[in-house]
Amino acid sequence: MDQPAAPKPPSAPSPPAEPAGAPPAPTAAPAPAPATAAAAPSTPVAADAAPTPRPAPARPPAARPEAKAGAARPEPKAPPPPPGPPDPPPPADVAAPSFITALQAAFPGVGTVTYWVGDWTVIVPADRLIEVGRWLRDTSETAFDYCADLTAVDWPMRAPERFDLVYCLYSVPHRFRLRLKVRLADQAEAPSVTGLWPAANWFEREVFDMFGIRFTGHPDLRRILMPEEWQGHPQRKDYPLEGPGELLLEDPQEWLKLRNAAREADFD
């Protein structure tokens, strides 16, 4: 027996026909495609692999300390004081004058001969000063009959011979010039040469006044530039630059009273 046919679904109604001459209906624009992620690398990366560190950005060079505004520069250090003056020997191409060769022949091994900027110097010990000086004055080959100057130099860093006594001699007949140098320790005494050269009288007084070096046998050894009651010796390198002593620095009036009191006591 034949089965009845299934009923057909109703068909959708057809859109109404557009009237003639009407503009075409706008069509909807297609929806934009969703943004896709960047393509993955072709080589798969392991899950436990550490990420590659990126290089740190370069930093600008640090400014130098002296380039900073207001930065204090370190003070330059002063060189240490020299222990003493140079005493160079005479060069090989300079011939010794006749008074030097005669002195070396008369006193072998007594003095040390030095030469500097055209000046000849003989360093003698203090106990031979009078003997060498008398020979230089009385010998006809030398005839150093005039003591033109006498001074001293303080070298505190040189021990034990701290001072240099320098005698500048001149020969009037021969027109020779020579320097005698004597090295002395602090508080040591030197023999006076006033018996050989009378002009050394005031020179030795000045050295005593300025450096405190005493000369044995001097006829009148006392201060010549500073007052007798002056404290210290101004040309020694350990002399204070501010004044002779704390009493003068603290109260000059008290120092003047003490000086005047000493003078008044002399009159009493």
What domains can be seen in the chain, in order of their start residue?
98-225 (3.30.460.80), 227-263 (no CATH)
When computed from its CA atoms, the radius of gyration of the chain, rounded to whole angstroms, is 53
CB distance 83 to 159 below 8 Å = no
Q: Which two tokens stand for residue 75?
A: 């003070």
Q: Which two tokens stand for residue 213?
A: 């070096």
pLDDT in tens, 31-57: 555 544 444 444 454 445 555 666 666
Q: Which two tokens stand for residue 15?
A: 């859109």
Helices (H) then strands (E): counts for the chain: 5, 7
Host H or E run for residue 120: strand 119-123
What's the CA gap between 215 and 221, in Å, rounded?
A: 8
Across 198-209, average pLDDT: 97
Across 229-247, average pLDDT: 77
What's the CA gap between 122 and 96, in Å, rounded?
A: 12
What's the CA gap between 45 and 139, in Å, rounded?
A: 111
Type of residue numbered 16: P
Higher-pLDDT residue of 166 and 61 is 166
What's the CA gap between 233 and 206, in Å, rounded?
A: 10
Query: C-alpha 90: how far from its chain's center?
Result: 30
- In the chain, what percentage of residues exceed pLDDT 90? 50
